[in-house]
Each structure stands twice: as C-alpha cells, then as structure tokens.
A and B are shown apart, each in its own frame.
Chain A
C-alpha cells in the first residue's frame, strides 16, 4: 500500500508565477490536509478537505492560495503570483474516514521562490 504521494518534490518559481502542488492520499483515505513549514518552524495547518468539499480553510491566506480535492485525481494546492515569503515546505497528510486525526504525512514539496 503506497503512502501519501506528493509531487513535485522540489519546485522553483520566479516571483509572480503560479505554483501547483499535488497530493495523492493513501488508498482508502478520503481526508486530506495541507500544512506549511517555514525553516526552523513547526508545521502550520492550512486547509482540510474531503472529496469535493473544503471542510476547514481557516489556515489559508485570504489571497492567492486555493485548494481542491476533486472526485477524481489528486488534491491540488495552488499558489498564484508567488512571492519570496511563500518559500517553504508544503506537506500533505491523509487520514481514513473512520479514524479521524491519525494523519499520515507525505514527503513534502519544497517550494523555492526566486
């Protein structure tokens, strides 16, 4: 059973470009969470999604950031018009529907904005 998959693992963007980060949850998992980790910091919650629904987006910046988890395909975290402050590691986690909070983390996408 493959774990949580994220791609790309490393992403370099210039200021003003768009970044798209993908997350495929573990098989059988229907809950996806996105977290951001700045250097030397803990992870900060961004958004929690179930298939086709955003459940909690209280940690998402109000502008430029969006997330989706379509019926088919991976979850996408999209950052428009990136700025240097967006440089961070973005981790996705997934959990099964019957065991809330036991979250399994993916390898992360390290975004660098030049």
Chain B
C-alpha cells in the first residue's frame, strides 16, 4: 500500500527565514504533486514533478524530487506572511489507477 508522510506537520516561522518541508513515499511512483490549501478553500496546484532530479521553482517556493530516495522537498526562501497555508504532497502509484495518495499536510504559519 502506498503511503505518504510529510514532516513537519506544523511549522511556524518568521518572515524572511528559510525552511524545508519533506515528503517521503513508500513505493515507486509516477509523479509527485505539491498543492496549497487555504482555510476553507480548495487545493491549488503548485508543482508537478515527473522524473528523478526534477526541480521546479515559482517565486519563493522550490520543489525537488529524488525518486531513488523516494523523497521530495518543498523549500521556502525568505518566507512572507502570504505563504501561510497548508501544503500537501501527493503521489500516484506506478502501474496503478490514477488516484492520488496524499500526505497529511504541513500547516505553515509565517509570523511577521
């Protein structure tokens, strides 16, 4: 059974600081996704990582994928308050149906 673990689950940081969120998954996967969710809202797609070594950046967020280690990271650079949200990683199962398996999410709070 494919399992996805994120850590930390809660992250409180100050504006201007850097931090990394980690996403581990248990079996071979095709794709790794990062989503953002604001309270009471739907999921906003941030990144889709398709292959080993993939790195994508958008603003202050950068995501990477190491398929050999079954690890993805979401790095936050010089955090700002607007980044406060819950971040989810999700993977699908190689050779399986197209369903996504989500981590529990990392609730990020950026304090002034």
- Chain A residues in the interface with B (C-beta under 8 A): 31, 33, 35, 41-45, 48, 55-56, 58-59, 91, 95, 100-108, 110
Cross-interface CB contact of B48 among A35, A41, A59, A102, cutoff 8 Å: A102
**Additional A-B contact list (19), CB under 8 Å, known A42-B104, A101-B31:** A35-B100, A35-B102, A41-B104, A41-B105, A42-B88, A42-B105, A43-B88, A43-B102, A44-B102, A45-B100, A91-B43, A101-B98, A101-B100, A102-B48, A103-B100, A104-B45, A105-B42, A105-B43, A108-B42
7 contacts between A and B (CB under 8 A): A42-B88, A42-B102, A42-B105, A43-B100, A101-B100, A105-B42, A106-B42
The minimal Cβ–Cβ distance linking B108 to chain A, given in whole angstroms, is: 14
Which residues on the A side are within 8 Å of B105 (C-beta)? 41-42
B66 contacts A by Cβ under 8 Å = no
Main secondary structure on A side of the interface with B: strand
Which residues on the B side are within 8 Å of A45 (C-beta)? 99-101
Total cross-chain contacts (CB, 8 A): 57
Given A41-B104, A43-B88, A101-B31, the answer on whether A33 and B98 have CB atoms closer than 8 Å is yes
